[in-house]
Structures are given as structure tokens and as C-alpha cells.
A and B are shown apart, each in its own frame.
Chain A
Amino acid sequence: MRKKLFMCLLLLVGVYFAQAQNGIIGEKVYKTKCLVCHQADGGGVPNLNAPLDGATNVVGSDIARLVKIIRYGYNERVALDGYYYSNAMPANPALTSTEIAAVLSYIRNSWSNKAPSVTLAQVQKLLKKK
């Protein structure tokens, strides 16, 4: 019994650290690769770069779309929450699956956003499928 409790605790601590680590990686990727366009507060730039803060798709459940956007870039001129953005978002071929999961989790849980994190397994599965 004691042993089980201990294992449980260990697991919890492990998960906690993994998440914190994820948070740090996510923030680092955001600051170096995304902030320039989507801005420090996730607000984007009117007409130019889409906002991530408060964006329906960003906190939505279509993870496959989000993973694709980060990996392959985005330049579709579709209405996002009713507005169009004219800049071209570049592909990120150099980002690892871990980094993609981390940055997606980061943008889904920063500013006013609150949505389930994206796991490494999810990203790996989606990128393999392609």
C-alpha cells in the first residue's frame, strides 16, 4: 500500500515536471518563432496577422489543423472569426514534434485562452499520417 502511494506520488511529480518543462519549451518557441507576428499579448496585428488570444480555432478541438498550420505554414485567406489576415505564415520544418506540442499547448493556455494541452503522442500520430 505504502509503495503504491509512493509510486503514485512519483508519477504525479513526474507529470508535473513534464508539464512545466513543456511550458518552458512552448514559451521559448513562441518567443523566438511566433511573437514577431502574433505579438506578446497574442493579439496579432489587425488585418495582417491573426490573433491567437481568444481565437475560436486556437482553443478548438481540431488539433490536426493546428499541427498542420505550425508545420506547413498558413496562407489561405479564409475568414478567421470574421476577419481576414494578409500576411503569410511560414512553415516550421525545423520544429520537432515535442516543440510543436509545446507551442500549441502554450498558445492554448496563454492570455485568456484555456484549452486542453496537446500531447507529443497526438502530434506524432498526426504528422505520421500525412
Chain B
Amino acid sequence: MKKQLLLMVFGCIVGLSVVHAQENAGLKLPAGFKAHLFAENIGQARHIAITQSGVIFAKLNYPNKDGKSIIRLEDKDKDGVADNITGWANYGGTGIYVRGDNLYASSDDAVYQYKLDAKDEVLNASAPNTIIKGLLSRRQHASKSITLDPKGNIYVNIGAYSNACQEKDRTPGSKGMMPCPILDSAGGVWKFDGLKTNQTYVDGKRYATGLRNVIGLDWNTTSNSLFVTQHGRDQLNSFFPALYTNEQNAELPGETMYEVKEGDDCGWPYIYYDPMQKKKIISPEYGGDGKKEGGNNVLDPIVAFPAHMAPMSLLFYKGDQFPAKYKDGAFIAFHGSWNRAPLPQEGYFVAFIPFKGGKPSGDWEIFANGFSGLPADTKVVNPRNAKARPCGLAESADGALYVSDDSKGAIFKITFNK
């Protein structure tokens, strides 16, 4: 009898702790929000896109063990968890975007377009239209992110295959090249026609330049303009120990968000943004000393985040499910840093910035935290310790927010209950 009681108590404790561990899928959210796992272990899920009916497409960084790299996830019984998971395509990549019955996906050197039927099933899995081809892909910052404007133009990030445009990349003492020859074909966002096939560089237009690597970008329908988030340069301390301490490197430069119009220049590689001095500072590879200002003709960031956190997705929230404060605001998925070492890493979270009239109307804040899976207040010492690394964002027609993870491939669904 006693034994039974003991067992029951024990069972309760175990049961409770399991339930507790899974509450909100381990995420920390503002009051009233809930989270759960929509899918798990689907592969390195980079960006995600969602159709009107709620079918999710995830682009994998590498094909999974079945050789598929575009994963289709459907929740047929509407219990909030994907129960019908299929896939196709054999190329790795990052970008995915859906508009109506057109599904766009990118490899590291091309953008393809698929057709969806009335049930959001792909019609031409093995024969997509090639929309853009021959984009530069030189390993570093090779991933191509994509978004569309309301007119159907497609914007593609072509990241710079370099840290700071040195003659010898990431080599101490190597000078910055003047002018930086990378910028004619990379280090910016290019604009193409979303429907024409077989476009190459000559058919596109360099829309904005001086951007080292943009992974998150989204069209803001209020301001009717493109917003991008840049991954700032690394390793100020390792190359210029006389100018920057480890502590300074961990905070420099800011990860920046810009509103870009056609022809804009954001300044890479000649300057970086110092969020403490709130100034554009000349890069040390180009004669800077950590104080000299530069870049009079280049854009100021519209928001600056702490250094090295790696913004992976930008999404303007259009729905009504979340409280009014979130409407039209920006969600940003941060991958989490590596270049703060030897200091602890930061930024394995989704941030939020309120917007009014197409401009930020308040400070940024952490919206969803705890993706690293480490106990509260434990710092991530190495990126590989993080259980999940936020990467893609998508909003369903009913205003739920989905977050993908590109370490093991979880998809979190975040909802709000009034």
C-alpha cells in the first residue's frame, strides 16, 4: 500500500516535470502567448513560407536523408501539429517565398519557381521555371534570400564573399581593396522580374549596395519600401588588437536594419556602424582607428542591434491575432552569435520592434527566447550547444507566427489567446 502511494507520488512528479519541460516548447514568451512544436527534425530548415490555407514550405540548407530539400508540411487534422510531411528538390539553399499559386525557392546561385494546385500541392516538382540563374556563390555568405514587392518584382540578396574586402580575406595586416571590386556583383540586393525566366545579372538591377550580407528582408506595405537586416563584419579584435579589445569586438559593429530605396548605399566595406557612439566609423582596413567617422553619403541604419547576433529573417506582422501593439511591427529571428568568443554568445531569440506609419515607434525587445534550450541565464558558450537556432519566420492567414530552426529542424508555432 505504502509502496503504491510512493509510486503514485513518484509518477506524478515525473509526469509533472515532463509536462513542465515542454511548456511552450521551452520558449519564454510575453504573457498570453503560447508556443508548441509544429514539427521536429525535418532537417536544417532555413526560410519558411506559408500559403493562405496554412500549408508550410521549408527550404533546407542541405537535402535531408531522403534527398529532399523543399519540405511541405500540412496539418490535416488541425490539431496544430504537422501530420502530412512530404518533399522534393535536391539542391540546398535558404530562400523560399509563396504568392498565390507561385512558390519561389533559391539555391545558392539560382531562383526557381514552382506552381501549386488548389490544394497547395506542387505541380512541377521536377521541372520548375528557372527565374534567375548564374548568381555568384563563393561559399562565404552564399545563401540567397528572396522577397517580392506588391508589383511582383523579386529582390535577391547576393552576399559579399568576404569579411571586409581585404586583399586576402580574414588575414591580419591585409589591406582593404579600394574600390572594393566585390560590389559590382555581390554585397547588395538585386532586383529582378518575378515572372520572367532565365534572367541573369544583365537582366537585373543592383537595387541597393554596400550590404555585406543580408539574410532577412521584407517589403513593408505601409511605407511601400524594402527593409533589410545586415550581418555586420567580424573579427575587429583578431586583426586589430591594438585598436579593439575582445570586449569591444563583442559589441562591434551593430547588426543593422535599413530601409533601402533604389540606388542606396549602406557603406560596407568602408565603414561599420558603432551602436555605442551611434556613428558610422571608418573600417580599420581602410585607415580607421575606431573613432574616425566616414560614410557621409551612405544610409544610417533605422535600427541597430547588438553585434554578431546574426539576423536571419525579417517579417512585418499583418495579422490581428496578436495584441494591437504588434500590428505592422517587425519580428526578427536571430541565429545567435559566434564571433563574441571568447565572451559568451548572444542572441538565440526572436526580437520585436513596434512600427507606426512604416517607421519604428519604440525600442526593440526580445519577443521569444529560450531556443538554445539551456536553463534560464545560462549563456551559450558555443553555437553547437544551442538546441535550436532561429532562422525562418512566417505568418499564417489567421495571424499565428511560425519560427524555423536550422540546427535540427524544428518549427515552432506561436499563438495568442485573448
Contact = CB atoms under 8 A, between A and B. Distances in A.
A46 B170 contact: no
A41 B382 contact: yes
Contact of B170 (A45, A77, A88): A88
Given A39-B338, A40-B342, A51-B384, 4 more contacts: A44-B384, A47-B44, A73-B171, A94-B172
Interface string A24-52: 00000001110111011101111111010
A84 B44 CA distance: 13
Contact of B168 (A39, A49, A51, A91): A91
Given A86-B139, A91-B171, A36 B235 contact: yes
Contacts of B234: 36
Interface of A: 31-33, 35-37, 39-41, 43-49, 51, 73, 75, 77, 84, 86-91, 94
A90 B384 contact: no
Contacts of B169: 88, 90
9 contacts: A36-B234, A36-B238, A43-B382, A47-B44, A87-B170, A88-B169, A91-B168, A91-B171, A94-B172
A51 B382 CA distance: 11
A51 B384 CA distance: 9
Nearest to B241: A32
Nearest to B163: A88
Contacts of A86: 139-142
A75 B139 contact: yes
A31 B384 contact: no
B139 A88 contact: yes
A39 B386 CA distance: 14
Query: Which 8 pairs from chain A and chain B are nearest by CB?
Result: A43-B384, A45-B338, A90-B171, A90-B170, A39-B382, A43-B382, A86-B139, A45-B383
Contacts of B61: 47
Interface residues of B, number: 27
Nearest to B237: A36
A4 to B, nearest CB: 47
A40 B385 CA distance: 12
- Most chain-B Cβ atoms within 10 A of its Cβ — which of A33, A37, A73, A84? A37
Contacts of B383: 39, 43, 45-46
A79 B171 CA distance: 24
Nearest to A39: B382
B339 A36 contact: yes
A80 B168 CA distance: 24
A44 B139 CA distance: 17
Contacts of B382: 39-41, 43, 45
B341 interface: yes
A73 B168 CA distance: 11
B407 interface: yes
B168 A77 contact: no
A36 B233 CA distance: 13
Contact of A46 (B168, B238, B407): B407
Contacts of A35: 341-342
Nearest to B249: A36
Nearest to B143: A86
Nearest to A89: B170
